[in-house]
Structure 1
Amino acid sequence: MKIRQVGANMTEVHIPGATILFSYETPVAAQVFEKTGVRYYRTEKRGSTTTSKHIGKWLDGCKFTEKPQEFFEHLVQVKPMDGLIPAYV
């Protein structure tokens, strides 16, 4: 995983198969590498004016599909791996 600051309160998180844009502390857009090619997604949840500007700047010129906010929350979930992270129920 790599984290890159791309603007004031705008951060990209690079994980295998995707790059996720965070506005402040919320994942709001993603570039996903799928078998059929690269696809772009943005949250359908309407946030602040600043968050809308962050998304617009990041997706500038890209064709995108809107997805529910849960889609982005799911992309960034930390999952237990090899017993290193305890699994909480």
Structure 2
Amino acid sequence: MTLDMIQQNSNSLVEVSQNFSRLERDKEILITQLEEAKQTKKRTQIVILSGKIKKLDREMDEMRVFILKVLTNLHRLVEEQQNGI
């Protein structure tokens, strides 16, 4: 049972890590677009892109919290497995 839970947590961690990497790439693209918008002084685009970047930052923060929870849970499960609980 514990090994199954470890595997499930590991799979979740991999999935979230992949999603996090995708969001990082998306954010880099938006930052580049924002810099271009600032150069051309396109105010509407600056506001829209800034909002999208803030939204991505919030999503990434939520993912970081989730990753920490999964890692903590994995650590506990591995300790239980090692101690034979």
Structure with more relative contact order (C-alpha pairs < 8 Å, separation 6 or more):
2
Q: Which has the higher Rg, Structure 1 or Structure 2?
A: 2
After TM superposition, the score normalised by the length of structure 1 is 0.26
Query: Which structure shows the bigger proportion of residues in helix conformation?
Result: 2
